Amino acid sequence: MNWWCSSSLRPWTWEPSPYIGAWVILFAVAGLAMWWNRLGRTQEPTLDAREAAALQFGSGAYPSSPRSRTIAFGFAMIGLWACLDWPLASLGAGYLATAQMIRQILMVMVVAPLMLFACPAPLAVRLFGWGRGLWLIRWMARPMLAIPVAALTLVAVNAPAIVDPLVATPYGAFALDFAWVLAGFVLWMPVQCPHPGVPRLIGGTAVTYLVVQSIVPLFPGFFMTWAEFPIYSTYELAPRVFEGFDAVIDQQTAAAVLQVGGMFLLWVQIASRFLRWGYQQIEEGSGPRKPIAGPATGAP
C-alpha cells in the first residue's frame, strides 16, 4: 500500500491497492462534517440576523435545505473517493490519459461545486472568519482572478512537460493533483462561495462567467486531439490496460472526455442557472403593480 499514486511500468492488474493519503483526506473531510453536525453548529460563533440576511439576499445564494446539502455532500464524498483512490487514480497516474481526464473532470466539474454547495454558511464563517481568511476567499472569488488562475492551471496540469516528470513520483503526482483540485474550487468560488461575506455572481453575470470558463477545456484538448503521435511519454510507454487501446487512441479519447465531458457538465450548470434566473425574472415581473396616477386629475 502506497501513500499516493504514481506512474509504474508494472503490468496492470485489477488487484485493489488503496492509497493511504487518499483515505486520510476522506476521513478528514468526513470527520469535519461529523464534528459540525454533532458539536460545531451548536457552538459560537453562529450567524446572527445580519449575516443570515447577507447570505440570503446580499450574496445571491439560492435557498437550500439541510437535506439537499446532505445529499450533495454524500455524492461529493463518493466522487472524491473515486478521484483520489484506486483504481481511477492508479490508472490516471501511470496507465491511461483517459482515466486522468475523467479524474479531472469529475473533481473540477462535479465534486468541487457539490462541496461548496454542501458547506453551510456558519461552517464557512467558522473556518475563515471575518478577517484575513475572508480577505483571501474574497480574492479567490473575484472573476478577474478566478478566470486566469483556473484556465492557466488546467492548461498547465495537462502539459506534457509538467505531467511526465511529476507523475513519476508520489510527491510530484500529489502536487499535480493538488493543483487541479485547487483550480476546481477557484473556478466555482465566484458563483458558489458559501461564506455570507462574499457576494456571489448571480443571474446573467454568473451565466456569462461560466460561459467564459467553458472555453478553457478547448485549449489542452486541441493539441491532444490533433497530435499525430502520443505527447505523453508516461502513457506511451505504459503497459496496455486494454488490448487494442493504444496510446494514440487513449490520447484522443482523453481529449474527447476533456472537451465534450467538461463542457457538457459546465453547460448543465449554465442552463440550470439561466432557467432559474429567467424564472425569477418572470416572478418579479408578475408581482403586484402600483396604480399610476393620471397627469391631470391624479386618479389611478
Helices 203-213, 170-192: crossing angle, 10 deg rounding? 150
Nearest to 112 by CA among 41, 191, 165, 205: 191
Outline where 40-169 has alpha helix (H): 49-53, 66-84, 88-94, 97-106, 112-118, 121-128, 132-140, 143-156, 160-166
Kindly give the parts of the chain with pLDDT less than 70: 1, 40-64, 285-300
- Give the per-residue pLDDT at 56: 45
C-alpha cell at position 117: 454547495
Burial of 175 (0-12, 13-18, 19+ CB in 10 A): middle
pLDDT of residue 40: 63
The C-alpha cell of 182 is what?
485547487
| CB hemisphere CA count around 177 (13 angstroms) | 28
pLDDT of residue 60: 45
pLDDT for res 120: 87
Asked if residue 4 lies in contact with residue 22, where contact means CB atoms within 8 angstroms, the answer is yes
> According to the model, what pLDDT value does residue 94 have?
92
How far is it, in rounded angstroms, from Cα 49 to Cα 54? 9
Distance between CA atoms of residues 129 and 290, nearest Å = 42
pLDDT recorded at residue 225: 77
At residue 216's C-alpha, the angle toward residues 214 and 217, to 5°, is 90
